[in-house]
């Protein structure tokens, strides 16, 4: 097995706990589904948010997924760069896989699709 990185990002329209948790859960589940991953394949998950996301720890959404209890998850804030995308949640999932890096499917949802237009399906 090789450890690979799976990237993803999404945005919320408002900094509200429900929105942050729902968007994070949807993003992480889509990342796992599109890459045929189960919780046992996941080494760790790093989640960052822009500084305007403060209502909830997005990691809570991951920890409550069925079977994901023991997946190490950590949250942090992104750099506050002028002109950066607001209300953004980014995920880096480290996974054990035999899939070559070029075949990993990275997921960008909502306004975050603008971050990596080169990865559109």
**Residues annotated as part of the active site:** 7, 63, 75, 78, 90, 108, 116
The closest of 30, 31, 21, 91 to 61, measured between CA atoms, is 21
Q: Is the dihedral of CA 120, 11, 36, 6 positive or negative?
A: positive
Where are the alpha helices (H) located in the chain, listed in sequence order? 17-34, 59-63
How far, in Å, CA of 64 to CA of 12, rounded?
Answer: 20
DSSP code of residue 35: T
């Amino acid at each position: 097995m090789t450890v690979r990185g799976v990237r993803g990002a999404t945005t919320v329209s408002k900094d509200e706990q429900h929105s942050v948790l729902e968007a994070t859960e949807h993003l992480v589940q889509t990342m796992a589904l599109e890459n045929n991953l189960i919780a046992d394949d996941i080494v760790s998950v790093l989640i960052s948010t822009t500084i305007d996301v403060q209502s909830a720890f997005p990691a809570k959404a991951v920890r409550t997924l069925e079977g994901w209890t023991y997946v190490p998850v950590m949250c942090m804030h992104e750099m506050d760069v002028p002109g950066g995308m607001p209300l953004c949640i980014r995920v880096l999932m480290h996974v054990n896989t035999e899939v070559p890096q070029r075949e990993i499917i990275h997921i960008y949802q909502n306004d975050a699709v603008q971050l990596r237009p080169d990865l559109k399906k």
